[in-house]
Amino acid sequence: MNRYLLVSITVIISLWYIASCLAPQHILPYPHDILYALINLILYKNLLVNIGWTLLRVFIGFSLGVLLGLGLGVLVILYSFLRDIVYPFITLIVVTPSFAFIPLLMIWIGLNDLLAITAVIICTCFPITLSLLSAVKSIDPDLVDVARSLGADNRVLIRKVILPLALTHIASILKLEAGHSWRIVFVTEFLALSTGLGALMMNSYSILRVDEVIALVIVVGLLALVFQYIIEYIESTIMKKWGFME
């Protein structure tokens, strides 16, 4: 592990101990209490199963959101008249705060798994469509001309040239949306579901178990970080393969 990271973790934990000595225990427990709370969550409150639920929702919602976002983008590229029809609506959805959709979806869909997945799809799909459309504009027109002269029809052109090249441009949006998916799923579980990390958090909050709440915050943060690293790893592997990165 990086030496500086180790030092900073040690400093933070030390400061935490000092702060815990000064603050009441029901506001800021000691770090070792958080560790006990974590073990307690794993043993008696199905933490790992709830992590599984949250991961599943994030994964399904994010994957479908990306696929639908790219699919819609491809349709707009193929049929340019669609651009004028869908563009204003997509823009409107993208600028609306994502959490604003959750109450509406609770009424429409009900309090079930589909709620979290749909919320993630809505919040992931349209920014990806928008960034795909703007990425396509930045593709060198010579590449498209050459592909067409070599024999590519629209299908081959989009599948083999436009989408792979656009993906290099929308990689940063994918990373942002991956983090966003975590937030949406967590809030949805917190507000409306009975399983998942958000629901577990709601449960701990309702009985004022600060140690569990802090343990869950750390777990959610670490999992989102791992998710982010996986996306970054995939991105950098592709970029390295194509020579865009050393």
Partner 1 sequence: MTTIELVDVRNYILKNISLKIDSKTTYIIIGPNGAGKTTLLKTIAGLVDYKGTILFNGEPVDHIPPYKRSIGYLPQSNALFPHMSVEENILFGLLARGYSRSEAYRITHHVIDSIGLSDLRKKYPLKLSGGEKKLVALARALAIDPDILLLDEPLTGLHYDYCTRVLEVVKEFGRDKTVVLVTHSVDEALWIGEHICVLDNGVVKYSGAIEEFMRSIDKYLWYINSIECTIDGYVENLLVRLKCNSINLYVPIDMIGSAKANLNSIVHVVIPYDKVFLSKNPFHPSINSFKGVIEDVNRDYVVVRISDSIKLKTLGYRLSISNGDYVYVKIGLKYMYIF
Residue whose token pair is 């996986």 = 230
- In angstroms, what CA-CA distances link 3 with 7, 213, 239? 6, 29, 28
The structure tokens listed for 176 are: 């942002």
Q: Which is nearer to partner 1, 10 or 237 (CB)?
A: 237
Helix residue ranges per DSSP H, 79-162: 81-95, 101-109, 113-137, 141-150, 154-156
Segment contacting partner 1 (CB under 8 A): 91-99, 152-160, 184-192, 202-210?
Answer: 152-160
Write the burial class of residue 106 (CB in 10 Å: 0-12 exposed, 13-18 middle, 19+ buried): middle
Is residue 142 near partner 1 by the rule CB under 8 A? yes
40, 134, 168, 228: residue in contact with partner 1 (rule CB under 8 A): 168
Segment contacting partner 1 (CB under 8 A): 45-53, 68-76, 95-103, 144-152?
Answer: 144-152
Q: Which is nearer to partner 1, 88 or 243 (CB)?
A: 243
Q: Which is nearer to partner 1, 150 or 225 (CB)?
A: 150
CB of 60 to partner 1, least distance (A): 28
The structure tokens listed for 220 are: 């959610």
Neighbours of 122 (CB within 10 A): 20
**Total site size for partner 1, rule CB under 8 A:** 23
Is residue 221 near partner 1 by the rule CB under 8 A? no
2, 140, 206, 207: residue in contact with partner 1 (rule CB under 8 A): 140
Is residue 169 near partner 1 by the rule CB under 8 A? no
CB of 142 to partner 1, least distance (A): 4
Q: Which of 206, 214, 205 is nearest to 37 (CA)?
A: 214
Q: Which of 179, 197, 212, 218 is nearest to 12 (CA)?
A: 218
Binding site for partner 1 (CB under 8 A): 140, 142-143, 145-153, 156, 160-161, 164-165, 168, 238, 241-244
